């Protein structure tokens, strides 16, 4: 039985609605999800082992980063160095932009508030922070993602709770080897934050369909690895200042990158299923996604410029 038949007409309609919502998020027409919150939602499989912010609707980047860096002391050291480097680099970059503006009439970039610059720099730093076996929060994220995903992939939901730190079982949720930390190196611990967030914020029925699509041979794909690659695409857009204006209008970067990630993942699964792609198409399809992101950004920039002229 094909995936499309198994999903059924009702599920296909719901997938289309989710894709349309994701596209609206992607193009700044609507950057909201249920209840207007883009932070980590409550874990529907809570078992008391999660870090407190994983079960909070109002967690901020400081709360998240404090746990991921290993405590208040380590995070304080990071923030001390961040304050100086962030201000120096921003001042230098903005001076160059002012020079270009005077010489070639290039529009000045939006002036980010200090809090937004620090939030952006913290997200970038988390993308460079490796998985640590000594940090229990890292394991909570990893185990939580495995459990929330494997429950839709295995014949018995009870088996989703059996999760050693290393082993062949990680392929069930789309990691390539016996140690998922290897795949996470491409985008650090923040890639894991996004994978876990996806598994708890996306509508459960939609997420189940995405998991099943990823495991439907011969059109299967490594779900976790694809998620890490999408995080890398989001990171590139973030460091290229593509989200600055959105962050200013939405009062934060975290909600933006989570919305973009969620939208990109749903779009990937929808298109993958519709085109009946295979794993050999994975990298080329992700490259197409990167071009698509850049085109969307160019369209939005052009639209903003025309609006300003009016």
88-104 mean pLDDT? 50
165 or 94, greater pLDDT: 165
Handedness of CA 219, 295, 23, 238 (dihedral sign): positive
pLDDT of 147 strictly over 90: yes
Q: At what angle do helices 136-150 and 61-69 cross, to 10 degrees?
A: 110
Contact 90, 76 (CB under 8 A): no
Report the distance separating Cα 118 and Cα 207, nearest Å: 32
The winner for highest mean pLDDT among 30-34, 63-67, 106-110 is 63-67
When pLDDT is averaged across residues 183-203 and rounded to a whole number, the result is 94
Range of 56-60, 115-119, 277-281 with top mean pLDDT: 115-119
Global pTM reads 0.73
33, pLDDT greater than 50: no
Q: What is the pLDDT of residue 13?
A: 65
Taking 60 as the threshold, does the pLDDT of residue 35 lie above it? no
Rounded to whole angstroms, how far apart are CA atoms 198 and 287?
Answer: 21
pLDDT (tens digit, 9 = 90+) per residue, 269-281?
Answer: 999 999 999 888 8
DSSP string, 192-258: HHHHHHHHHHS-HHHHHHHHHHHTSTTS---HHHHHHHHHHHHHHHHHTTTTHHHHHHHT-SHHHHH
CB 205, CB 14: distance < 8 Å = yes
Angstrom CA distances, 269 to 71, 197, 222, stand at: 36, 17, 11
> With contact defined as beta carbons under 8 Å apart, do 197 and 248 qualify?
no
How far apart (Å, rounded) are the C-alpha atoms in residues 238 and 246?
A: 11
For 295-307, b/e burial (b = at least 16 CB within 10 A) is ebbeebeeeeeee
Q: Tokens 């299967």 — which residue?
A: 220
The pLDDT score that the predictor gives to residue 75 is 85
- Residue 72 and residue 66 in contact, taking contact as beta carbons nearer than 8 Å: yes
Residue percentage of the chain with pLDDT more than 90: 48
Vertex 82 angle, CA 76 and 83, to 5°: 95
Distance, CA of 21 to CA of 34 (rounded, Å): 11
pLDDT band per the 50, 70, 90 thresholds, residue 8: low
Which DSSP string do the residues of 42-100 spell out, in sequence order? --TT--S-S-GGGG-SS--HHHHHHHHHTSHHHHHHHHHHHHHHHHHHHHHHHHHHHHH
**Whether the Cβ atoms of residue 58 and residue 120 lie closer than 8 Å to each other:** no
């Amino acid at each position: 039985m094909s995936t499309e038949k198994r999903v059924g007409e009702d599920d296909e309609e719901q997938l289309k609605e989710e894709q349309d919502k994701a596209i609206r998020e992607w193009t700044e027409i609507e950057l909201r999800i249920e209840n207007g919150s883009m932070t980590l939602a409550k874990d529907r499989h809570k078992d008391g082992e999660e870090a407190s912010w994983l079960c909070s609707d109002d967690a901020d980047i400081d709360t998240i980063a404090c746990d991921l860096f290993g405590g208040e002391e380590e995070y304080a050291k990071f923030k001390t160095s961040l304050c100086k480097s962030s201000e120096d680099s921003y001042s230098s970059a903005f001076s160059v932009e002012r020079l270009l503006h005077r010489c070639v009439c290039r529009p000045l970039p939006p002036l980010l508030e200090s809090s937004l610059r620090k939030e952006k720099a913290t997200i970038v730093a988390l993308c460079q922070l490796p998985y640590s076996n000594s940090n229990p929060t890292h394991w909570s994220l990893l185990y939580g993602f495995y459990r929330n995903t494997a429950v839709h992939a295995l014949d018995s939901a009870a088996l989703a709770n059996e999760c050693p730190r290393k082993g062949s079982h990680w392929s069930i949720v789309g990691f390539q080897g016996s140690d998922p930390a290897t795949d996470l190196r491409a985008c650090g611990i923040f890639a894991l934050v996004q994978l876990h967030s996806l598994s708890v914020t996306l509508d459960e029925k939609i997420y189940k369909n995405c998991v099943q699509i990823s495991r439907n041979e011969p059109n299967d794909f490594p779900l976790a690895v694809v998620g890490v690659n999408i995080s890398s695409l989001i990171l590139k857009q973030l460091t290229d200042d593509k989200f600055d204006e959105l962050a200013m209008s939405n009062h934060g970067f975290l909600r933006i990158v989570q919305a973009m990630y969620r939208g990109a993942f749903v779009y990937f699964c929808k298109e993958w299923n519709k085109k009946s792609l295979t794993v050999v198409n994975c990298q080329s399809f992700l490259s197409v996604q990167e071009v698509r992101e850049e085109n969307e950004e160019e369209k939005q920039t052009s639209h903003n410029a025309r609006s300003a002229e009016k």
